[in-house]
Amino acid sequence: MTNAVRLVNFEIQFKIMKQDTFQAPDYYNIDDLLTEEHKLIREAARDWVKRDVSPIIEDAAQKAEFPKSIIRGLSDIGAFGPYIPEEYGGAGLDQISYGLIMQEIERGDSGVRSTASVQSSLVMFPIYAYGTEAQKKKYLPKLASGEFMGSFGLTEPNHGSNPGGMTTNFKDKGDHYVLNGAKMWISNAPFCDIAVVWAKNEEGRIHGLIVERGMEGFTTPETHNKWSLRASATGELIFDDVKVPKENLLTGKSGLGAPLSCLDSARYGIAWGAIGAAMDCYDTALRYAKERIQFDKPIAAYQLQQKKLAEMITEITKAQLMALRLGQLKNEGKATTAQISMAKRNNVEMAINIAREARQILGGMGITGDYSIMRHMMNLESVITYEGTHDIHLLITGMDITGIPAFK
Contact 282, 316 (CB under 8 A): yes
Q: In terms of DSSP bridges, do strands 194-200 and 150-153 run parallel, antiparallel, or are they unpaired?
A: parallel
Contact 363, 352 (CB under 8 A): no
Distance CA 129, CA 262 (A): 9
Contact 229, 114 (CB under 8 A): yes
- CA torsion 27-32-37-42 (nearest 10°) is 0
The fold of 150-250 is: Butyryl-CoA Dehydrogenase, subunit A; domain 2 (2.40.110)
Distance CA 210, CA 246 (A): 10
Q: What pLDDT, on the 0 to 100 scale, is given for residue 15?
A: 47
> What tens digit of pLDDT does each residue of 119-160 get?
999 999 999 999 999 999 999 999 999 999 999 999 999 888
Active-site option among 58, 104, 357, 387: 387
Distance CA 373, CA 287 (A): 13
Distance CA 382, CA 184 (A): 14
Distance CA 366, CA 368 (A): 6
Q: How far are the Cα atoms of 26, 53, 65, 230 from residue 56, in angstroms, in the given order? A: 27, 6, 11, 13
Distance of CA 203 to the CA centre of its chain: 34
In this prediction, residue 388 has a pLDDT band, given cuts at 50, 70 and 90, of confident
Scanning 118-209, the segments in alpha helix (DSSP H) are 125-130, 133-145
Catalytic annotation present for 387: yes
This prediction's pTM: 0.92
- CA torsion 240-245-247-252 (nearest 10°) is 20
What CATH class is the domain 257-402? mainly alpha
Distance CA 233, CA 230 (A): 7
Contact 329, 339 (CB under 8 A): yes
Residue ranges per domain, the chain?
21-145, 150-250, 257-402
In this prediction, residue 9 has a pLDDT band, given cuts at 50, 70 and 90, of low
Distance CA 309, CA 283 (A): 9
Contact 28, 320 (CB under 8 A): yes
Distance CA 99, CA 203 (A): 38
> What tens digit of pLDDT does each residue of 276-331 get?
999 999 999 999 999 999 999 999 999 999 999 999 999 999 999 999 999 999 99
Q: Which CATH superfamily is domain 21-145 in?
A: Acyl-CoA dehydrogenase/oxidase, N-terminal domain (1.10.540.10)
Scanning 131-256, the segments in alpha helix (DSSP H) are 133-145
* pLDDT value at 28 more than 60: yes
* pLDDT value at 18 more than 80: no
Contact 215, 242 (CB under 8 A): yes
> What tens digit of pLDDT does each residue of 68-98 get?
999 999 999 999 999 999 999 999 999 999 9
Amino acid, single-letter form, for residue 267:
R
Neighbour-count burial of 99, counting CB atoms closer than 10 A to its CB (0-12 exposed, 13-18 middle, 19+ buried): buried
Q: How far are the Cα atoms of 205, 207, 252 from residue 258, in angstroms, in the given order? A: 11, 8, 9
* pLDDT value at 106 more than 90: yes
DSSP class of 228:
S
Nearest to 259 by CA among 116, 158, 133, 162: 162
